[in-house]
Structure 1
Amino acid sequence: MTSLLLPTAPTAGVTARVRSGARPAGGAPKRERVVTLDLMRGYYVGVLAAIHLGYLPSLLGLFDGHGGLLTSEAEGFFMISGLLVGMLRRRDLERHGMARVVRNSWQRAGRLYVVAVSLTLLFSCVGRLAVAHGRPQVKVGLDDHSTPLALVVNALTLRYTYGWADFLTFYVPMFLLAPLAVWLLSRRLAALVLLAAYAGFVLPSCYDTGSGSPFLQWGVYFFLGMTAGYHWDDLRRLPTRMPPGTWRVLRTGLIVAALLLYAVGTVLLYHPDLASSAGYDSLFQNNRLGLLRPLVAPVSFAGTYLLIRRFEEPIARTAGKVLLPFGRSSLYVYVAQSFFVFLVPFAFGARGFWFNTVIDLSIIAAIQLALRARFLAFLVPA
């Protein structure tokens, strides 16, 4: 799901709120960060370690769903990434033209490609050494049979990815295609972008799309977010263009819908017998390829955004002490958690509720300390 932003690591200038009267020399409104989005992204990337580690039962495991709800943190993470890319690349387009859009998008793709391939090779080496020394706790998916040359070639061509930072690999083609999406959005062809993204999402359920499946699965959320980000200023002004009563009803409806999606998903997660039909699986699960997931995810995201924005200040003063730094340095946090999740199982496995909870919270605390120290930050692109 750059600053991680995974992949869209927006710079400190990205935002959503325009300060009245504050305009730079070029005449464009001066922007500040969108605190609500930083809080959301901080949560999404902050709980990834607990989700990937999967030590249950635990405190975080009681409510994070571990990817089994009607919509998950991963979908939200990719939507925020796309949303910020849409904001940034529209700004590039309007200020500097299409060449700048292509350059910035492809530079980001290149940086993420280097980090993703390097991590795949590093984790593969560690995994092979662990297997050779009789340690079976390695993450599944390890290529332990190809020759070193074949492994390197497969990693370089993105046909093989390994470790807990595999989202980076999925982002590379998204950033390569981002300029095309910006061009289509500038031609008012948002419907074409969304239809193409959804068609790609459906494709792995119908055909063997091989190593391209993860990109198609997660790309729909990235381009959903990108479309919203490109039209962010219009969306931000939407409440002023509606009768107050209409906006209140819409806002309340989205918040209630988000809460209901979470509540229903949680009930079904702990009582799978209530949703044991093949129809439910094909619509909402199917290894997160359920056909309705890309339709309910934006509703959940919008309702969550409005709810958090309503309580933004108290959240920022409390949980925001952790969430905001995580959200603003999400690529660094994402890479850091991938090491913890990969290595912790070699030390100990899941135990009881309190032990598992302590492990989850300890990883979050360790990442926070690493973030403050900026340890190895020079290896991670901003």
Structure 2
Amino acid sequence: MQKIAQQISQRIDFFDLLRGYFVLVIVLDHLERWPGVFDWMTGQGRLWSSAAEGFFLISGIMIGLIRGHRAIDKPLKVVSKILIERGVVLYLWAVATTLLFVTWGMLWPYGGLIPPGLFEFQGEATAPNMLWQIFNLQYSYGWAGFLKFYAIYIMLSPLVIWLLRSGLWWVVLLGSASVWLYGLDQDDWWLSWQLLFYTGAVLGFYTYSIRDWWHGRTALDRRVLSAVIFSSSFIFLVLSVFWTFAWNYLKAPDNPIMSFTDYDIARRYVDPLFDRVSLQPLRLLVTALWFTSLILLFSRFEHQLKRFAGWLLMPFGQNSLYVYILHGLVVFALDLLLPAKQYILQNIIVQILVVALLWFAVKKQFLFKIIPR
């Protein structure tokens, strides 16, 4: 029993490390202080997949693992109550943060610095219309916009947990994939990103079965599979980095790779294949490869990561929603008070100070009783 408990504890630590990494990258991406020293780690959120996809996957995994597998002996009614209450709290925070950011942006005295996207709601620009779209989650604003998706997906999770308890994991995947397929040409975040969350829930519920299957392979099989995954991930990473950041390099008339005109034309065809909103199949493939590679790397070097980066990644991972919500407030204020500049040293200082501020807030449990974790 003690050995089993230790294994469970280690797996939670492992997932917290990975979740902390995703949250850290999201914070750095949302700061948009480029160029800086962290571009290589984050890809500026512009590659063929991003930390956001990983965060949704790992969030679904935690639901499937903690509220599904580990709560298998608890009545479904109890688990459902916990999930629905959690979803309601996140819904209220999604509404509250949007209201706060909208009010903040509209009252900001320096009109030229009003953040973009403030008035991008549907229909007539009236207060009742805006309020209606905020409360029905049609409109969100600020750097905590994903809360609304997380809130609704969690509130629907009791049905998923019931299906998983009944051994109907394939129904969950089939239903989720069907919704995703329907939304491929709808340009709708709601229809596409649920696939990440509920696929994660299935993976979380069967975490130990997947682990046992992996360890049941021969050492040669594991090495071959790992090599295929890592090599494929690396190829897509190189292509993605080139395709995303080669813009300025290819403008040089003497570059030996391709003309800028050909590059510009090619991007018009390639970019839609990795669309972030609809989660096109190729973007899902890249997400699956990169996520699996990170799983293997974090699993292999878990103890080293805990020793050297656990002081940051563990608090961020264990309080991921708190960090996500609080970073939205910090980034929003920072964008108004200190607009981004092309100064590398300033960008580095801002990035480090913001991460340090969030870490300090977690360690001091600042507003822990108010902001969900």
TM-score, normalised to structure 1, is 0.84
The alpha-carbon deviation at position 133 of structure 1 amounts to: 4.5
Judge conservation of contact 2:97–2:144 (CA < 8 Å) in 1: yes
Specify whether residues 234 and 266 from structure 1 end up closer, same or farther in structure 2 by C-alpha distance, changes over 3 A only: same
Counterpart residue type for residue 137 of structure 2: L
Change beyond 3 A, Cα 1:366–1:221: same
Tell me which residue corresponds to 2:326. 336
Distance apart, 1:21 and its partner CA: 5.8
Give the conservation status (yes or no) of the 8 Å contact 2:87–2:151. yes
Aligned to 1:352: 343
Superposed displacement of residue 165, structure 1:
0.6
Check conservation: 1:82, 1:229, Cα contact below 8 A: yes
Residue 166 of structure 1: SS of its match in structure 2?
A: coil
| 1:159 maps to 2:138 | yes
Tell me the distance in 1 between the aligned counterparts of 2:227 and 2:35. 33
Corresponding residue number in structure 2 for 1:43: 21
Give the letter for the 1:136 counterpart.
Answer: L
- Rounded to whole Å, the distance in 2 between the matches of 1:63 and 1:269 is 14
Q: Could you tell me which residue of structure 1 aligns to residue 111 of structure 2? A: 134
Counterpart CA distance in 2 for 1:294 and 1:328 is 26
Greater mean alpha carbon deviation, residues 146-155 or residues 296-305: 146-155
Residue type matched to 2:100 in 1?
L
2:367 pairs, out of 370, 376, 379, with 376
Using structure 2 for the length normalisation, give the TM-score.
0.86
What is the CA deviation profile of residues 276-299 of structure 1, one whole-angstrom value per residue up to 9, with x for unaligned ones? 254422322365633322233122
Aligned counterparts, 1:1-382, within 5 A? 19-20=2-3, 22=5, 31=9, 34-91=12-69, 94-130=72-108, 133-142=110-119, 146-207=125-186, 213-271=188-246, 273=263, 276-285=266-275, 289-349=279-339, 350-382=341-373
Structure 1 stretches lacking a partner, 5+ long? 1-17, 24-28
How far residue 217 of structure 1 moved from its aligned partner, in angstroms, is 2.7
Q: Could you say which residue in structure 2 is the equivalent of 1:9? A: none
How far apart, CA to CA, are the structure 1 residues paired with 2:86 and 2:171?
Answer: 24
Aligned length: 355
Q: CA separation in 2, counterparts of 1:135 and 1:360? A: 24
SS in 1 for 2:73: helix
Secondary structure at 2:35's aligned position in 1?
coil
- Give the residue type in structure 2 aligned to 1:249: V
Aligned-partner SS, 2:3: coil
| Equivalent-residue separation in structure 2 for 1:275 and 1:39 (angstroms) | 40
Root-mean-square deviation (Å): 2.5
1:193: how far off? 2.2
Give the residue type in structure 2 aligned to 1:20: K
Separation in 2, partners of 1:153, 1:63: 39
Greater shift in the superposed pair: 113-122 or 367-376: 367-376
In 2, distance between residues paired with 1:239 and 1:291? 25
- Kept in 2, the 8 Å contact 1:202–1:289? The answer is no
Q: Which amino acid aligns with 2:371?
A: V
Inter-CA distance 283–20: structure 2 relative to 1 (3 Å threshold): same
Q: SS of 2:139's equivalent? A: coil
Range moving further from structure 2, 214-223 or 224-233:
214-223
Deviation at 1:381, TM superposition (A): 2.1
Given that 1:184 and 1:193 are in contact with CA atoms closer than 8 Å, whether structure 2 keeps it comes out as yes
1:352 positional shift = 1.6
CA spacing shift, 1:306–1:88, aligned 2, 3 Å: same
Supply the distance in 2 between the matched residues of 1:33 and 1:279 (Cα, whole angstroms): 41
Q: Secondary structure at the match of 2:350?
A: helix
Which letter maps to 1:236?
A: R
The DSSP-based 3-state class of the residue aligned with 1:379 is: coil
Go from structure 1 to structure 2 and tell me whether the alpha carbon gap of 1:75 and 1:275 turns closer, same or farther (over 3 Å shift).
Answer: farther
The structure-2 alpha-carbon separation of the partners of 1:30 and 1:38, relative to structure 1 and needing over 3 Å to count, comes to closer
State the AA in 2 paired with 1:154.
Answer: Q
Moved more, 293-302 or 224-233: 293-302
Distance 1:277 1:162, change over 3 A: closer
Shift of 1:220: 1.2
- What letter is aligned with 1:153? W
CA displacement at 1:88 relative to structure 2: 1.7
Rounded Cα–Cα distance in structure 1 between residues aligned with 2:299 and 2:174: 29
- How many angstroms apart in 1 are the aligned matches of 2:5 and 2:31? 45
Ranges in structure 2 where 5+ consecutive residues have no aligned partner: 248-262
